[in-house]
Structure 1
């Protein structure tokens, strides 16, 4: 082609790209350091599975758009090699001849290489055609379907145009050469040649779509087809270079940063928050420079796909928080103020301190709205870590600014003074078990296999006390060796940490770990997923290495080992609500369901938003202790879905809208009728409180009962005397037939 034009294009485009990227990279270098090079084998495996393999793109709830994205992604990966070839053709006429004419003398002695090249051309052709199909699909989705999660954007159409242009120009360029080769072959035949190059028809099998393009261009003649091919060639290079420079200034920056973001993902449970060094005065994120470089890269990698919104409790119920929105607000603030972040020079060109994030880029309402349910991180194809960033902002607001929702002041004071968020007397912690004669760890008895960590709710909340007693009944029937801490038990600190009071959390964690280790505790039973998550995932950083088991897991083990037997037949419909900190953050989905299915007579029906797509009750992230002043209540939305699920089980003709409806996600939570009777099973005291409140608020007390799985098991339990427990409200019971 033309080395001069090719060189000029590169000379124009590459410096602009480098300048833009230097600013983007400079910002990351100005942010906090963080080691993300541990556990390399795991990171490589995740990169292959979720980065190169695009596993999360084809999750069930977004399978179709994910599949078409995979088609476009595959085209990018395969055509990257082709782009290098095209630039080589632009600089070298020899490269042009060799790569476009497989009858060239170069290939005579290169049989193996020629075979590999033909395979590549076939792959290139197929993925380019499929990418065009993907472009057409996304144009249709944005123009006609207009899904709620996608923000209307001219940029999206521009990028789709770029992608489509790359594929079409590739076909035109290749097709023009086939026309030229056909014309040359025809001319040689006319001149009486006995050996001529293969006709284009013989090339169809390794470049089928390019060959079809060539056939379509035949009527143009060799000269006109050549002009079209040259135009296609230069169009392809211009689009590539324009695309390259557009990436760092738009949402498609993920094409550059997505794979590194997947590689540098955290290697532990999403329920584990980073632990700052308070002695080094790491008190949270005040400005964007207090974010880590990984958190900055996360912002670059957000594609605005909106998957984080589909089951987000704050978005669905009209709160001022979408994680897509947070990512965009922070990213654009940083991009608009790169010199300020890097060098300290503000908008006026003078050195001045960076403004605080809260108040400049984000509102306080946004930072405090999050329930930390983790859906956004579960749904994100590139593993953006949204929750730790918001918690870091809360830490600064609490520990430095002392600015936080006023209702949580009493929670902090209660934990500090009485070891529980209610602020009730520490001497009342074991009142729930006064008549049970429970062994206390550290007394003369033992040794014990398990420490039963009752938790604050299990000790003080009237409803959860019943769960504690039910669990004791089950453990004793199974002969489990356990003891409690009685009055010595204190809060594990989960709520304090997620509300930003890191100092209080670390104080509680260190105190508990020191005490438990001195007692020789090795295994812990919890009945609260928040306790479970904190002790299992966060206490090890403070020296607390224990086998932690949730009560639903332990009950399931006891059933499988036949150490307990369930005999009462409960004739009731039931739906199960997944606690976020048991399910999504720790992957415990099967054990609760297996326990419920072991109870005779229960008809268990699933809500649409269940398991990994489960919808939050609204209490996580410390929101248990805060009022909802904006939008509709999260717990109402969830209970509405449970009621609709039970009603649909009774009467399948009841309309049951799709929870993941593209136009209106979450509409299963809009059900307002009083219909639907049965039990909503829970496995978390926070969920129990929130859903019980929702039952009362919506006037469904006569129809729906909220019961912990433990209570249901205790009601169905056959004791050694042959007796069974009290029947759960909302269920009828009969003796199990022999």
Structure 2
């Protein structure tokens, strides 16, 4: 081996040893998190990995930046092969990968050359975007975050330009038939050929380019553990280890486990290790902020900051623990005070917009719920409004504190069958608290019940026997009370051997469908928009009246994002003659929350501007006569927003069932 070979071995060995040491530290910090099994269902995880990492599926929701990022990612994979070839060639002169076969090697050279240019173009666009376009979601969190992006982009620029330069010089020094497969490197060859360069000069250019490439790669690798671009390494395992349970399902706490001394997460070690990996994987791209209703309405919760702060806390606390620095100030910080503010924890509507938008599958909502659980169950810290609603649920099984005996009063005029009188029905209409007690939402329940009667559906209700399913209570952090409510509700449902359940509330729908299986209760749960679409298709509901109105449809978060039910409500509306259905800019998976999710229905908004008003303003800009939706919480919040804008007489908020009933002949 030559002197260069030994120098290359020394440089690569030292550089990668330092880099691997820093990565090893991060791995040790990851072990601070609570154990959680994410090694199950490997085939499904591999499929998710293929779609989310190799396919970059979420990146394409913002198409142009997503496409260019995909070029960088795919280029990273292909160029890395060429970089490894260079490393070995630096040690063993003349080495190349042609032994894999002429055709595969020719394709490799072509795609490497192609991606050098695609990555170069993408990097230049990203510079332009940050320096000129300056989208709000890319606003920097700190001075380090600002120059970090430019430093990484510069390193990538050095890697691809040095490769093109080296190839261009080498093609002149040692021409080969393969050179025609590298059209962009050939441009460099043509440029160098126009200059009065000697063989020695070309050799120097090739050698300098080689060292720039290798040096940039080593600096990149050493710096990466300290950079927000750590996601280049961390995003892939983060996607692989994503939760595979339905997104709308909260993790169940085993309250009977006597080995558990705490509930929820009051410190870093009580969060699952995936929370720390989420921090490593965060790209600080700001997509979560862009779609977050609390960030949009100037509240303390900023999903990006939540994850970034968790990462910084994990790194500093991990360093203090593993260096046994007992006086380190990070050890004295409270997770829910110094790292994440309690206000941020309580502001979350659990709408899932952040999780939906995140290209690396970060699980913001789960971490917030863990912190709420600790605040409620361990610290007893909650808003007085939350304490009041907990008392109401505990005493009357509804959030208002109304008598349980009046739960079925809304249906008295309809002569609906009670299961206590006739248990032999096909469907239970599980009404839920809102439609049972709130006068506005009782109209929705009546409309749906009348439609069921017209379609001659075999159904019944529980009346005063119905119990709250615990959905909002769980999301407000009171897992203990919620599980009591779930057990009470289960007893009633099991008593009548319920198999099929209809709901008009997406929150009830999500809980009964996705969470009750964790409590050994499994039912076929159908949202009323799905069922109404089915009844229309089967000819059991005949539409005979014109609805000459312009409508916009608001997607309930727990129906749309959490359960991917976007089509049925729109299909029903599109069946109505004379209706003009228009979409708000933020719709379907980018839909904007009404502000009531996560138990926020029962708490006042004390910070920032009102989420429901923001949503109503978006709807009013389209000049509709009706804001249609399919959720009792959304109806309440949207009507409140219309009142705030003094538009309640000009614009109606109506449920799909109410609108359909208007179009059905008597």
TM more than 0.5: yes
For 1:542, the equivalent position in structure 2 comes to 519
Counterpart contact for 2:506–2:556, Cα < 8 Å: yes
Q: Distance in 2 between matches of 1:630 and 1:224?
A: 66
For 2:294, the equivalent position in structure 1 comes to 314
Unmatched 5+ stretches in structure 1: 100-106, 183-197, 647-676, 724-738
For 1:135, the equivalent position in structure 2 comes to 123
Q: Distance in 2 between matches of 1:535 and 1:245?
A: 49
Q: Distance in 1 between matches of 2:328 and 2:316?
A: 13
1:66-81 aligned within 5 A: 66-81=66-81
Determine if the alignment matches structure 1 residue 477 to structure 2 residue 454.
Answer: yes
CA separation of 1:26 and 1:606: change in aligned 2, threshold 3 A: same
For 1:211, the equivalent position in structure 2 comes to 186
1:692 to 635, 639, 646: 639
How far off is 1:563 after superposition?
Answer: 0.5
1:135-154 aligned within 5 A: 135-152=123-140, 153-154=146-147
Unmatched 5+ stretches in structure 2: 141-145
Determine if the alignment matches structure 1 residue 30 to structure 2 residue 10.
Answer: no
Q: CA RMSD in A?
A: 1.7
How far off is 1:586 after superposition?
Answer: 0.3
How far off is 1:589 after superposition?
Answer: 0.3
Counterpart contact for 2:594–2:615, Cα < 8 Å: yes
Counterpart contact for 2:32–2:318, Cα < 8 Å: no
> Which secondary structure does the structure 2 equivalent of 1:337 belong to?
helix
How far off is 1:406 after superposition?
Answer: 1.6
Q: Distance in 2 between matches of 1:266 and 1:292?
A: 12
Counterpart contact for 2:32–2:268, Cα < 8 Å: no
Q: Distance in 2 between matches of 1:441 and 1:343?
A: 65
How far off is 1:205 after superposition?
Answer: 2.6
How far off is 1:308 after superposition?
Answer: 1.1
The superposition leaves residues 47-81 of structure 1 with CA deviations (integer Å, 9 ceiling, x where unpaired) of 1111111111112xx10000110111111000111
For 1:413, the equivalent position in structure 2 comes to 391
Counterpart contact for 2:106–2:178, Cα < 8 Å: no
Q: Distance in 2 between matches of 1:286 and 1:399?
A: 10
Task: Give the total of aligned pairs.
Answer: 654
CA separation of 1:304 and 1:169: change in aligned 2, threshold 3 A: same
1:288 to 261, 264, 268: 268
Q: Distance in 2 between matches of 1:477 and 1:529?
A: 23
The superposition leaves residues 662-691 of structure 1 with CA deviations (integer Å, 9 ceiling, x where unpaired) of xxxxxxxxxxxxxxx501011111100001
Determine if the alignment matches structure 1 residue 388 to structure 2 residue 369.
Answer: no
For 2:578, the equivalent position in structure 1 comes to 601
For 1:681, the equivalent position in structure 2 comes to 628
> Which secondary structure does the structure 1 equivalent of 2:174 belong to?
helix
Counterpart contact for 2:264–2:373, Cα < 8 Å: yes
For 1:192, the equivalent position in structure 2 comes to none
How far off is 1:14 after superposition?
Answer: 2.3
For 1:378, the equivalent position in structure 2 comes to 356
How far off is 1:203 after superposition?
Answer: 4.2
2:417 to 432, 435, 439: 439
CA separation of 1:286 and 1:439: change in aligned 2, threshold 3 A: same
For 2:168, the equivalent position in structure 1 comes to 175
CA separation of 1:263 and 1:174: change in aligned 2, threshold 3 A: same
For 2:143, the equivalent position in structure 1 comes to none
Q: Distance in 2 between matches of 1:246 and 1:406?
A: 47
Task: Work out which of the two has the higher radius of gyration on C-alpha atoms and give 1 or 2.
Answer: 1
Counterpart contact for 1:337–1:347, Cα < 8 Å: no
How far off is 1:204 after superposition?
Answer: 4.2
Determine if the alignment matches structure 1 residue 398 to structure 2 residue 388.
Answer: no
How far off is 1:137 after superposition?
Answer: 0.7
For 1:712, the equivalent position in structure 2 comes to 659
How far off is 1:213 after superposition?
Answer: 1.1
For 1:102, the equivalent position in structure 2 comes to none
For 2:313, the equivalent position in structure 1 comes to 333
Q: Distance in 1 between matches of 2:489 and 2:558?
A: 21
Q: Distance in 2 between matches of 1:348 and 1:265?
A: 32
For 1:113, the equivalent position in structure 2 comes to 101
CA separation of 1:555 and 1:448: change in aligned 2, threshold 3 A: same
For 2:445, the equivalent position in structure 1 comes to 468
The superposition leaves residues 450-498 of structure 1 with CA deviations (integer Å, 9 ceiling, x where unpaired) of 1111100010000001111111100011111111111011111111111
Q: Distance in 2 between matches of 1:408 and 1:304?
A: 32
Q: Distance in 1 between matches of 2:489 and 2:324?
A: 43
CA separation of 1:341 and 1:515: change in aligned 2, threshold 3 A: farther
> Which secondary structure does the structure 2 equivalent of 1:514 belong to?
helix
> Which secondary structure does the structure 2 equivalent of 1:569 belong to?
coil
The worse-fitting range, judged by mean Cα deviation, of 686-695 and 34-43 is 34-43
How far off is 1:598 after superposition?
Answer: 1.3
Q: Distance in 2 between matches of 1:590 and 1:250?
A: 42
2:159 to 145, 166, 182: 166
1:498-577 aligned within 5 A: 498-577=475-554
The superposition leaves residues 627-665 of structure 1 with CA deviations (integer Å, 9 ceiling, x where unpaired) of 11221110000000111012xxxxxxxxxxxxxxxxxxx
How far off is 1:550 after superposition?
Answer: 0.6
Q: Distance in 2 between matches of 1:702 and 1:712?
A: 17
CA separation of 1:554 and 1:354: change in aligned 2, threshold 3 A: farther
> Which secondary structure does the structure 2 equivalent of 1:636 belong to?
helix
CA separation of 1:235 and 1:343: change in aligned 2, threshold 3 A: closer
> Which secondary structure does the structure 1 equivalent of 2:550 belong to?
strand
For 1:360, the equivalent position in structure 2 comes to 338
How far off is 1:341 after superposition?
Answer: 5.0
TM-score by length of 1: 0.86
For 1:263, the equivalent position in structure 2 comes to 240
> Which secondary structure does the structure 2 equivalent of 1:480 belong to?
coil
